[in-house]
Chains A and B, each alone.
Chain A
Amino acid sequence: MSRWRYFFRRLLLSIPVVLFGLTITFVIVRMGPIDPVAAIIGPEGGAANRARIEQRLGLNEPLWRQYIDFIVGMLTLNLGQSWVIQPSTSVGELLTTYAPRTLWLGFWSVLIAIFVGVPLGFYAGLNPNTGGDYLASFGGIVWRAMPNFWLAIIFLAVLRQSEKFFFGIDWNTIGVNVPGLIGQPPLNFIAVTDWVSLGALSIPIGFYFSPITLAASIKQILPPAVVLGSAAMGNEMRIGRTAVLETINSNYVETAKAKGLRNRAIVWKHVFRNALVPLVPIITNEAFILIGGSVIVEVIFGINGIGYLFYQASIQGDLPLVGSLMFVFIILIVSVNIIQDFLYTILDPRVGYE
């Protein structure tokens, strides 16, 4: 089928995109004003010291050789070692420590945005110009208008004194206990305890799972996730409303009505699928913002995620870490793009023709 061919062509096209992204990253990181040697030896280091460190880091080699080493290293997933933040720790190791926190935060903020924003938008679109619609639309605009950094601080302030605002309900102790508002969510609620080897393949057979830790983890991540997803939620609500309104007034919905279809069937079969088409790029675009926007939220809520790590690495001149994180971000964004195309090919049969 032709639309699958279209999808595979998109998949192939992402390879030059990754290469181009890596090149730009290299140019900015290596040719920019960042001086990692100064960051390592400090203000008192002498010229000899400096040359020695440059030699050790390979910074004295010709630029084209450094470029090839960088690209080959990235593409073979040899991400190198941190120079400044945690010297001699491999970037892979840092990623396995920091990334899950960000992913956990991103996952929940995307989920909240989709499962609150889209249904609210669809509800408003199906009941246009009613009280419910006005409430949802107004809420969406207000929610959209509140900036992350402000909302995060207000959340902290209100939840910290929750017994004052919510009739004596203490946020820290309601449901499961969490140590405090600020800090890492505990991610050790699931672990593999036992492996079995089938030839070269290792298959996990033993699991450890703690529902209480999971609940605590969700509770811990919820306030930052709501803050991070707030803008996305408002956007999705508004676009969802418009998309449903546009679809419900289209001729094929009229045709479906004239066929004698039930309202529920019209909405679920004919309206929703078409209304999702304009929502797909909105949702996937927001996934990008969640990567970038998480830095502020991570700092305010004291979550040491990759947003925080990337920020530290770039101001301290930890070149391999910055380059590797950029590589991870590029891969993430390209994958999200591919997922978007994949969703398009599923939702809309016309993709690939226009």
Chain B
Amino acid sequence: MAMESNPTADAQSTATSTLDTTATAASNATTIAGGRNDPIITVRNLQTSFFTDKEVIRAVDGVDFDIRPGETVGVVGESGSGKSVTARSIMGLVDSPGHILEGSSIRFQHVPTLRSFATTFAGRTVSLDELEAEHDPTSLFDHPEIDATPSTFGYDDREEATLEDFVGAYGDTLEFIGADDCVFVRGGSTDDPESITDGFVELTRCTGEIQRKMRGGRIAMVFQDPLTSLNPVYTVGNQLEETLRLHQDLSGQAATEEAIELLEAVGIPDARRRVTEYPHQFSGGMRQRAVIAMALACDPEVLICDEPTTALDVTIQAQILDLLKELQHERDLGILFITHDMGVIAEVTDRVNVMYAGEIVETAGVHSLFDDPKHPYTQGLLESIPGRQQGERLQTIEGNVPTPNEPATYCRFAPRCPKAFGDCEAVHPETVPVGDGHPEDEQAAHTAACLLYVDEYTAAAHPSGRTPDQGTGEVKATGGSADAATETETETPRGDDR
């Protein structure tokens, strides 16, 4: 962990990159990927919409986040905020009438996977080095069918854009990308897979065999309800062996042995007998353990947990969370943890994304989020936890999550927001840095999408110059003042050019 060794450099580099989280990914292009801090999954501008006869529901509307190996990223929000659809988009499990829109990009960056795929799926592999020799990424902004601006990728200047930004998101439009291409590599080629040093699998473009290889093999998922996640008519062992046969070429006795080991690894006693039992003979907690064992059967790099403990009682919940932590430690798993339970978030995650109506409204390290929530929605969520409220009555957020069925030209939280002011109804807030992270957080970036932290609007709304919630003030206090100020200034025009 190079960044951790030098706290000052860490703070500064964070401050300079908070505005533009993509810069990390971009700079990785020149170095060898696979380091501790390189994200294994990069989600950029993910938009998943459901096309019904009546309306288009933008269930996920422009979401960005990263998952790093060994890190747990939380996604929290009310029902209907788009958490599960985000997870399903990563897995490629969005069913019709849902579609991931063009411009969305989910990159899986894992060099061993790329090396293996470059051989197996040579026909679907593209060398970015070769493409770069022929195509200038900057000129792609002028492509008639690409509506991207530098700010789409989080850049200020079009010179910053790289080919990576385009090939995944706009692969269908770009004529030099084949219809099936979804493995993009650097450093090597299909003839020489060992020398591949970087690149990504574009998950939004994965179909057929390659998608099946990703699912389960590289990214596994644990679903909400363990009671119905296992097929009732097959033994637990049968279902585990099915996965092993699929991704690890194990069969017969070897698969059974491996299945028993997996059940032992997730803490199921008497695994040798249990492996021949049916799901209905397992208790709820045991079933969730079995589901986790199944997810881990193929040694995935990333585990997506979609509310894995919601259906379990509190003691079992604690056991499952401990188990996940242990497994993450052993296997260096990147975990995306989806829940609406703030207590669980505090327990397991390193970094938290707060989702509201299809958008991420605040991202912070878990300590920053709980100690110093910036977005009024996050504040509302935290106040509604029993025991944290001030006064007798538990605070609630009035109203419901709206259905996001039109492009956001305003803050979707404004109708429920206690701090809303005039501009909130007219301007869609961009994500801005709102302060340095808590010292205990590894990934220090703390951003929120709220006009309260954009000087231009707060000045207009509060002529006295009072900044609500001391948001920007704190940025200055913790030392990143110059950077933060310039960022905030460069940030404002971005709101206009949308």
Contacts and interface: CB of A to CB of B under 8 A. Distances in A.
A and B associate in one complex = yes
A256 B243 CA distance: 9
B280 A349 contact: yes
Contacts, number: 73
Nearest to B238: A269
B93 to A, nearest CB: 6
A17 B146 CA distance: 75
Given A349-B232, A350-B232, A258 B93 contact: yes
Given A254-B93, A349-B280, A350-B278, A259 B232 contact: no
Nearest to A270: B231
A27 interface: no
Contact of A348 (B232, B294, B295): B232
Contacts of B294: 255, 259
Contacts of A50: none
A264 to B, nearest CB: 11
Contact of A274 (B93, B214, B232, B235): B232
Interface in B211-247: 211-217, 220-221, 223, 225, 228-235, 242-243, 246-247
B156 to A, nearest CB: 39
B82 to A, nearest CB: 18
Dominant secondary structure of chain A at its interface with chain B: helix
Contacts of B338: none
Interface residues of A, number: 22
Interface residues of B, number: 30
Nearest to A129: B96
B291 interface: yes
Contact of A260 (B228, B230, B235, B247): B247
A349 B216 CA distance: 26
B91 interface: yes
Contacts of A270: 231
Contacts of B221: 255, 258
Contacts of A258: 91, 93, 215-216, 220-221, 223, 295
A255 B234 CA distance: 14
A5 interface: no
B246 A347 contact: no
B421 to A, nearest CB: 43
Contact of B233 (A254, A255, A256, A273): A273
A50 to B, nearest CB: 63
Interface of B: 91, 93, 211-217, 220-221, 223, 225, 228-235, 242-243, 246-247, 278, 280, 291, 294-295
Given A255-B229, A260-B213, 11 more contacts: A251-B223, A251-B225, A252-B228, A255-B223, A255-B231, A255-B291, A257-B93, A259-B243, A262-B212, A270-B231, A350-B232
Interface of A: 250-252, 254-262, 269-270, 273-274, 277, 347-350, 353
